[in-house]
Amino acid sequence: MSNSVAAQSFDAVREVTGDSYKYGFVTDIESESAPPGLDEGTIAFISAKKHEPEWLLAWRLNAYRHWQKMAEPHWAKLRVAPIDYQAATYYSAPKRQNAPKSLDEVDPELLKTYEKLGIPLSERAALAGVAVDAVFDSISVATTFKAKLGELGIIFCSFGEAVREHGELVRKYLGSVVPQGDNFFAALNSAVFSDGSFVYVPPGVRCPMELSTYFRINAAKTGQFERTLIVADKGSYVSYLEGCTAPQRDENQLHAAVVELVALEGAEIKYSTVQNWYPGDAEGRGGIYNFVTKRGACRGDNSKISWTQVETGSAITWKYPSCLLEGDNSVGEFYSVAITNNLQQADTGTKMIHLGRNTRSTIISKGISAGRGQNTYRGLVRIQPKAENARNYTQCDSLLIGPRCGAHTVPYIEVRNPSARVEHEATTSKISEDQMFYCRQRGLKQEDALSLIVNGFCKEVLKELPMEFAVEAQKLLAVSLEGSVG
Amino acid sequence: MTETTQTKPYIDAFPAARGGAGDRLRPQREAALARFAALGFPTRRQEAWRFTDLRPLERQSYPPSAGGAAPAAALDALRLAGATHRLVLVNGRFAPELSDLAALPEGAWIGPSAQALAERPALSLLDAGEIDGAQPFAALNAAFFTDGAVIALAPGVVLDRPVEIIHLGRAEAPVSLHLRSRIELAPGSRARVVESFAGTGPYWTNAVLGVELGAGATLEHVRLQDEGVEAIHLSLARLRLGAGACYDAFALTLGGALSRQDVQVELAGEGARVGLGGVYLLRGTQEATTALLVDHAAPGCTTRELFKGVIGDRAHGAFQGAIAVRPGAQKTDAHQLNKNLLLSRRATVDTKPALEILADDVKCSHGATVGDLDEGALFYLRARGIAEAEARRMLIEAFAADALDMVEDTALRAHLAGHLQRWPGLRESRET
What's B48-97 look like in SS3?
Answer: HHCCCCCHHHHCCCCCECCCCCCCHHHHCCCCCCCCCEEEEEECCEECHH
- B→A contacts (Cβ < 8 Å), by residue, are 47, 327-328, 330, 340, 342-372
Is B345–A427 a contact, with Cβ atoms under 8 angstroms apart?
no
Q: Which of A408, A416, A425 sits opposite B357 (nearest CB)?
A: A408
Task: Look up the domain containing A248 and give its range.
Answer: 2-480
Is A409–B330 a contact, with Cβ atoms under 8 angstroms apart?
no
**Mean pLDDT, all residues of chain A:** 80
**Mean pLDDT, all residues of chain B:** 91
- A→B contacts (Cβ < 8 Å), by residue, are 2, 75, 77, 383, 385, 398, 400-430, 486
Q: Which of A383, A408, A413 sits opposite B352 (nearest CB)?
A: A413
> What letter does residue B322 receive in the DSSP assignment?
E
Q: Which of A398, A408, A418 sits opposite B343 (nearest CB)?
A: A418
pLDDT at A106: 54
Is A424–B367 a contact, with Cβ atoms under 8 angstroms apart?
yes
Residues of chain B neighbouring A424 (CB-CB closer than 8 A): 353, 366-369
Residues of chain B neighbouring A75 (CB-CB closer than 8 A): 47
Please check the confidence at residue A3 and state whether its pLDDT lies above 70. Answer: no
Q: Determine the Cα–Cα distance for residues A155 and A148; give it in Å rounded to an integer.
A: 10
Percent of chain A with pLDDT over 90: 41
Is B352–A417 a contact, with Cβ atoms under 8 angstroms apart?
no
Query: Higher confidence at residue A133 or residue B80?
Result: B80
Q: Is residue B432 assigned to a domain?
A: no
Q: Is residue A168 assigned to a domain?
A: yes
Residues whose CB falls within 8 Å of the CB of residue B313, separated by 6 or more in sequence, listed in order: B282, B283, B284, B285, B343, B344, B346, B347, B425, B432
Residue-by-residue DSSP string for A358-376 = T-EEEEEEEEEEETT-EEE
Q: Which of A400, A409, A420 sits opposite B370 (nearest CB)?
A: A420
Q: Where are the alpha helices (DSSP H) in A129-166?
A: 146-151, 159-165
Q: Determine the Cα–Cα distance for residues B410 and B430; give it in Å rounded to an integer.
A: 32
In one letter, which amino acid is A221?
A: K
Task: Determine contact, residues A233/A263, Cβ cutoff 8 Å.
Answer: no
Is B366–A426 a contact, with Cβ atoms under 8 angstroms apart?
yes
Is A414–B363 a contact, with Cβ atoms under 8 angstroms apart?
no
Is A418–B355 a contact, with Cβ atoms under 8 angstroms apart?
no
pLDDT at B74: 87
In one letter, which amino acid is B26?
A: R
A165/chain B closest Cα distance in angstroms: 44
- B95-154 pLDDT per residue, tens: 999 999 998 999 999 999 999 988 887 888 887 667 777 899 999 999 999 899 999 999
Is B345–A417 a contact, with Cβ atoms under 8 angstroms apart?
yes
pLDDT at A245: 53
Q: Determine the Cα–Cα distance for residues A217 and A215; give it in Å rounded to an integer.
A: 7
Residues of chain A neighbouring B45 (CB-CB closer than 8 A): none
Residues of chain A neighbouring B355 (CB-CB closer than 8 A): 398, 407-409, 426, 428
Strands annotated E in B187-268: 190-200, 203-213, 218-226, 232-241, 246-253, 258-267
Choose the weakest-confidence range: A109-113, A389-393, B266-270. Answer: A109-113
Q: Is residue A422 assigned to a domain?
A: yes
Residues whose CB falls within 8 Å of the CB of residue B325, separated by 6 or more in sequence, listed in order: B296, B332, B334, B355, B356, B357, B358, B359, B362, B364
Overall domain count for chain A: 1
Residues of chain B neighbouring A427 (CB-CB closer than 8 A): 364-365
Query: Per-residue confidence at A214, pLDDT binned at 50, 70, 90?
Result: low
Using DSSP, state whether B338 is helix, strand or coil. Answer: strand
In one letter, which amino acid is A429?
A: S
In one letter, which amino acid is B382?
A: R
| Closest by Cα among B141, B286, B314 to B226 | B286
Q: Is residue B209 assigned to a domain?
A: yes
pLDDT at A435: 86
Task: Determine contact, residues B187/B216, Cβ cutoff 8 Å.
Answer: yes
Q: Is residue B2 assigned to a domain?
A: no
Is A405–B360 a contact, with Cβ atoms under 8 angstroms apart?
yes
Q: Is residue B1 assigned to a domain?
A: no
Please check the confidence at residue A449 and state whether its pLDDT lies above 90. Answer: no
CA–CA–CA angle B142, B146, B151 (5° rounding): 85
Identify the burial level of B264 via C-beta atoms within 10 angstroms of its C-beta, where 0-12 means exposed, 13-18 middle and 19 or more buried.
Answer: middle
Cβ neighbours of B266 (radius 10 Å) = 19
What number is the average pLDDT over the span A65-92? 85
Is B327–A403 a contact, with Cβ atoms under 8 angstroms apart?
yes
- Cβ contacts below 8 Å, chain A against chain B, sum to 113
Q: Is residue B345 assigned to a domain?
A: yes
Residues of chain A neighbouring B357 (CB-CB closer than 8 A): 398, 400, 406-408, 428
Residues whose CB falls within 8 Å of the CB of residue B55, separated by 6 or more in sequence, listed in order: none
What number is the average pLDDT over the span A340-352? 92
Choose the weakest-confidence range: A113-117, A336-340, A376-380, B285-289. Answer: A113-117
Residues of chain B neighbouring A413 (CB-CB closer than 8 A): 349-352, 368, 370
A-chain residue closest to B337, CA distance: A425
B427/chain A closest Cα distance in angstroms: 18
Q: Which of B356, B358, B361 sits opposite A430 (nearest CB)?
A: B361
Cβ neighbours of B161 (radius 10 Å) = 15
pLDDT at B27: 86
Is A406–B361 a contact, with Cβ atoms under 8 angstroms apart?
no
pLDDT at A242: 83
Using DSSP, state whether A97 is helix, strand or coil. Answer: coil
Please check the confidence at residue A428 and state whether its pLDDT lies above 50. Answer: yes
Please check the confidence at residue A14 and state whether its pLDDT lies above 70. Answer: no
Interface test with A, best of B310, B357, B375, B395 (most A CBs within 10 A): B357
Q: Which of B345, B346, B371 sits opposite A421 (nearest CB)?
A: B371
A-chain residue closest to B370, CA distance: A422
A450/chain B closest Cα distance in angstroms: 16
Q: How many residues does chain A have?
A: 486
B-chain residue closest to A414, CA distance: B350
pLDDT at B15: 83
DSSP strand pairing (B108-112 vs B163-170): unpaired
- B182-194 pLDDT per residue, tens: 999 999 999 999 9
DSSP strand pairing (A406-415 vs A360-370): unpaired
Taking the alpha carbons at both ends of chain B, their separation in whole angstroms is 47
Q: Is residue A52 assigned to a domain?
A: yes
Residues of chain B neighbouring A371 (CB-CB closer than 8 A): none
Q: Is residue A486 assigned to a domain?
A: no
Overall domain count for chain B: 1
Q: Is residue B234 assigned to a domain?
A: yes
A206/chain B closest Cα distance in angstroms: 37
Cβ neighbours of A141 (radius 10 Å) = 24
Angle between the A40-49 and A184-192 helix axes, to the nearest 10 degrees?
50
Choose the weakest-confidence range: A12-16, A239-243, B87-91, B330-334. Answer: A12-16
Q: Is residue A264 assigned to a domain?
A: yes
pLDDT at B385: 94
* Sign, CA torsion B46/B47/B49/B50: positive
Is B356–A423 a contact, with Cβ atoms under 8 angstroms apart?
no
ipTM > 0.95 for the complex:
no
Please check the confidence at residue A30 and state whether its pLDDT lies above 70. Answer: no
Q: Determine the Cα–Cα distance for residues A411 and A377; give it in Å rounded to an integer.
A: 7
B-chain residue closest to A416, CA distance: B348
Is A2–B361 a contact, with Cβ atoms under 8 angstroms apart?
yes
- A386-403 pLDDT per residue, tens: 999 999 999 999 998 888
